[in-house]
Amino acid sequence: MDAPTLADSIGVPVRANEPMARHNSWRVGGPADAFVVAKTLDVFRRAVLAARAQRTPYLILGRGTNMLVADAGVRGLVIAAECDEYMLREHGDTATLSAEAGSSLPLLANTLARRGWAGLEWAVGVPSAVGSAVVNNSGAHGSSMADVLRRATVLDEPGEERVVEVADMQYE
């Protein structure tokens, strides 16, 4: 695995030896062998699939607020999830929010509150990306993702998109 080969497969620049200290809230940690910023879902998907195809270990990075990176750095490819499109569907007295993995959870909580919707207000102070919040079941003030999430679209092992209902996520 090298950064130029990965860049060819993913179709966007891949940085070699990127200092991870730039990308986590502790501001510590050595370099990632390769680092790509996924601004769109398509790039995100291609990065994961390229790493798998080349048998390169990979790590998804949200906002880096729940991550302690060793001085030795990270082997393989770090994929920074910065895809942040979202869509709010309002229907009567309910609303459904669909958000990409790199969307800012506190920003979405604020956006919903400003439009008068309750449900995500507990998240205004949680410095998380949406994808990490789903993975970690982030929560605060007695509520958590498990209480508000309906379903998530994931990439399964063969690289197919699959919808997982919250009931099947084994949240505790």
Q: Which residues bind to ligand FAD, rule: CB under 6 A?
A: 25, 59-67, 81, 101, 126-129, 131-133, 135-136, 138-140
* Residue 37 in tokens: 């910023």
Please say which residue, 51 or 67, places its beta carbon nearer to ligand FAD: 67
Q: Give least dist CB 91 to ligand FAD, A.
A: 27
* Residue 88 in tokens: 């709010």
Helices 3-10 and 41-53: crossing angle in degrees, nearest 10, is: 130
Please say which residue, 3 or 20, places its beta carbon nearer to ligand FAD: 20
* Residue 152 in tokens: 């998530």
Q: Give least dist CB 1 to ligand FAD, A.
A: 18
Return all residues near 8 (Cβ < 8 A) that are at least 6 apart.
none
Which candidate, 66, 101, 80, places its Cα nearest to that of 34? 80
Q: Give least dist CB 93 to ligand FAD, A.
A: 28
Q: Give least dist CB 90 to ligand FAD, A.
A: 26
**Nearest-CB residue for ligand FAD:** 62
